[in-house]
Amino acid sequence: MLKFANYFCLKPWDLSGGLCLFWNENFSLDIYSWSQNVIAVDIDYLKDNIWKCKFVYGIPKFAQKRLLWRDLFERRDSEHTPQLFIGDFNDIICQDEKEGLHPKPKSQMKDFRKFIDANSLMDLELKGGISPGSATRGTTLSQKKELIEV
């Protein structure tokens, strides 16, 4: 059982999406905006310092991703307020991150890189956790089948 005092959840649509935040009493969150793909909050940690955070779940279809990026860029908060964009943007910036047979079009990776650079963001590598794709990285098809069945 998760032991958090507070939560805010957006239901999934169709077979994907959904976004939930859980936090404990050390944090005070003011959720000031949300959509199917973004929850925007002011976070106050121990009544000491307020900063902005946008929790993101990226849209799988590329044309819609561009709209999400534009919306995030246009609605970003003051440059003088600490900000964090965190989540799964559902995109990659280089072929090394790609799994599967078909390579990602270079123009799409270039567009995502432009979005990251224009917003002074950085791509942080996942460490110590597990994502759905990383659970099967470097395994054979039969090993992947076993992981899915477990």
Domains of the chain, each with CATH number or no CATH = 6-149 (3.60.10.10)
- DSSP strand E in 24-131: where? 27-34, 38-45, 49-57, 83-88
* 64-114 tens-digit pLDDT: 888 888 888 777 766 677 788 888 888 888 888 888 888 899 999 999 999
Residue of 91, 134, 87 lying closest to 109 (CA atoms): 91
| Mean pLDDT of all residues in 27-38 | 91
The single residue listed with the structure tokens 């395994």 is 139
Per-residue pLDDT for 139 more than 60? no
What pLDDT, on a 0 to 100 scale, did the predictor assign at position 82? 79
Per-residue pLDDT for 22 more than 90? yes
Long-range contacts of 130-133 (CB under 8 A, 24+ apart): 131/88, 133/99
Joined together, the tokens standing for residue 36 give: 């199917």
DSSP 8-state symbol, 104: P
Residue of 49, 56, 51 lying closest to 35 (CA atoms): 56
**To the nearest whole percent, how much of the chain has pLDDT over 90?**
21
